[in-house]
Amino acid sequence: MAVSEERIKARFKERFKTIALANKTLDAFAAKVAPTIVDEAEDGVIDAQLDFFNGLHPDGAFLTMQKADDKAVNDKKKQAQNNNSENQQFNQQNQQQQPPAEMPDWFKPFAQKMEALETEKAQTTIQQKLSTRLKDIPALFYKGRLPKTEEELETVAAEIEADYTAFKQEAANSSANGGPPPRGTGISTADNKVSPAMKRLIEREKETKQV
C-alpha cells in the first residue's frame, strides 16, 4: 500500500520551508510521488525521494515550480486588471452613447422657471456691465440696445459709442449753425428744428416704448 499524499505534503513543508507552492501544484506533486513509496516507509525515505525529485532541475525543481506558480498568479492578476480596465472603458463609452434621460413632466415647470431666472440674471449682469462700460454716455441714449450675450457686449458698446460720438458732433454742428439746442431745453422739437441725430434718438425712444 502506498504512502498517503498527506504525509508527502507534510514532509515537503517540513524539509523545504522556504518554498511556497500553490496548493494545486503541491497536491498534483504528492499524487504522483505517493505511489512510489510504501506506506510503512520512514520519513527519511520520503525525504530522500523529495531530494531526488528536487535535484532533477539545476536550479531546484521545487524552486522552478514556485516561480511558475508565481508567474501564473501574476499573469492572472494582470489579465483581471486588463479586463477591469476594458470593462470600465466599455461602460464609459456605453454611458456616453446612451441618450439623456427624458425630463419628467412634473419637473418641467420648475426647469422652465429656473431657466427664466437664469436668463433674467444673465440679462441683469449684462446690463450692469454695459452701464459700466458706457458710464460717460446717458443711459437714455442706448435704451433698448441691450446685448443678448456677453460675447456681443463689446461689439454693441462700440456701436453705441460711435453713434453717441456722431450724435454729439451733429448736435455741435447744429448749434454752431444756429440750429435748435439739444432736446430737453423746452424749445420746440418740430421736424424742421431738430437735428438728424436728435431725430434718431427720439425715434429710438419711441420704438423702445412700443416694445
Separation of alpha carbons 159 and 165, rounded Å? 10
Tell me, yes or no, whether 65 lies in a domain.
yes
Residue 122 lies in a domain: no
Q: Is residue 128 part of a domain?
A: no
Of 36, 61, 90, the position where a domain reaches its end is: 90
Same domain, 85 and 31: yes
Q: Domain total for the chain?
A: 2
205 and 151 both lie in a single domain = yes
Assess whether 71 and 140 both reside in one domain.
no
Do 11 and 82 belong to one domain? yes
Which residues make Cβ contacts (< 8 Å) with residue 66, sequence separation at least 6? 19, 20, 21
Contact yes or no for 181/154 (Cβ under 8 A): no
Grid coordinates given for 174:
447744429
Structural domain includes residue 19? yes
The Cα 209–Cα 211 span in angstroms is 5
pTM: 0.34
pLDDT of 24 above 80? yes
Domain extent at residue 196: 135-210
Q: Is residue 116 part of a domain?
A: no
Per-residue pLDDT reduced to its tens digit, 94-137: 666 655 556 567 667 767 777 877 778 888 888 888 888 888 88
Each residue of 176-199: pLDDT tens digit? 665 555 554 333 344 444 456 666
**Grid cell for residue 118:** 437664469
Could you tell me if 197 and 143 lie in one domain?
yes
Mean pLDDT of 15-36: 86
Residue at 176 is within a domain = yes
Q: Does residue 11 form part of some domain?
A: yes
Question: Above pLDDT 90, what percent of the chain?
Answer: 1
- The answer on 83 and 25 residing in a single domain is yes
Q: Do 147 and 153 touch, CB atoms closer than 8 A?
A: yes
Residues 13 and 86 in one domain: yes
Q: How much is the mean pLDDT over the chain?
A: 77
In a domain, 194, yes or no: yes
